[in-house]
């Protein structure tokens, strides 16, 4: 069975178990934490790839190291993953789990590039407006980008909405050159 197909099956199973325990978001956060550790720590990758350490010992050690940042469902999954290359499959599981979660919970990820850091009230107001206009629950992350000059640039899923002054100036320049 191909790795991607196996990851899809695992992510569906993890999601179903998370739904039963009403911990879908906690499992998502745990997957993010474990995948970040896999990407950033050569020692953790080596530990997960080790043939000398049993799967149950890997699960115990992962639970101890991450503490509350690793949900029990994920540590149990690690314990059950006999001979699976966790370093390769965990990021795929995270990707598919996030897609399932977004579909079932009607969630869309939004990245907002802004020129200055917004207050919490302004962030909440923007989230509310996006929720209403998209008719979805938005998970919004903000990035400060002073190059925009003013305005905002939104990435909604795979679509880019650029309402920045820099983009308007660029469009005006292009119109003048075309005239």
> CATH number of the domain that 154 lies in?
3.40.30
Instruction: Please name which of 131, 166, 135, 140 lies closest in space to residue 152, comparing C-alpha atoms.
Output: 166
pLDDT for position 1: 64
Residues 46 and 87 in one domain: yes
Q: Are residues 34 and 85 in the same domain?
A: yes
What is the Cα–Cα distance from 73 to 165, expressed in whole angstroms? 46
Q: Name 80's Cβ contacts closer than 8 Å, sequence gap at least 6.
A: 55
Residues 78 and 132 grouped into a single domain: no
Residues 77 and 123 in one domain: no
Residue-range definition of the domain harbouring residue 68: 3-104
> 97 and 133, same structural domain?
no
152 phi and psi, to 5 degrees?
Answer: -150, 150
CA distance linking residue 95 with residue 83, whole number of Å: 21
- 9 with 52, same domain: the answer is yes
User: Are 85 and 130 in a shared domain?
Assistant: no
Same domain flag for 91 and 148: no
Same domain as 92, residue 9: yes
Q: Are 17 and 71 in contact (CB under 8 A)?
A: no
What residue ranges of the chain have pLDDT lower than 70?
1, 83
- Rounded Cα distance, 86 and 160, in Å: 33
| Calculated CA dihedral for residues 38, 39, 44, 49, nearest 10 degrees | 70
Q: Are residues 29 and 43 in the same domain?
A: yes
**Domain boundary pick from 85, 104, 123:** 104
- 119 and 168: one domain? yes
**What does the pLDDT read at residue 131?**
93
Residues 96 and 169 in one domain: no
């Amino acid at each position: 069975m191909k790795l991607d197909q196996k990851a899809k099956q695992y992510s569906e199973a993890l999601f179903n178990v998370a739904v039963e325990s009403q911990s879908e978001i906690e499992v998502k956060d745990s997957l993010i934490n474990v995948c970040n550790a896999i990407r950033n720590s050569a020692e953790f990758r080596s530990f997960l790839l080790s043939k000398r350490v049993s799967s149950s010992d890997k699960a115990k050690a992962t639970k101890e190291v991450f503490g509350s940042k690793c949900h029990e469902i994920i540590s149990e999954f690690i314990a059950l993953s006999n001979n699976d290359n966790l370093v390769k499959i965990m990021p795929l599981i995270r990707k598919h789990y996030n897609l399932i979660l977004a579909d079932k919970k009607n969630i869309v990820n939004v990245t907002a590039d802004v020129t200055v850091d917004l207050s919490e009230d302004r962030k909440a107001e923007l989230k509310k407006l996006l929720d209403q206009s998209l008719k979805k629950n938005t998970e919004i992350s903000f990035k400060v980008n002073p190059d925009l000059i003013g305005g905002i640039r939104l990435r909604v899923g795979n679509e880019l909405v650029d309402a920045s002054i820099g983009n308007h100036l660029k469009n005006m320049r292009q119109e003048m050159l075309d005239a």
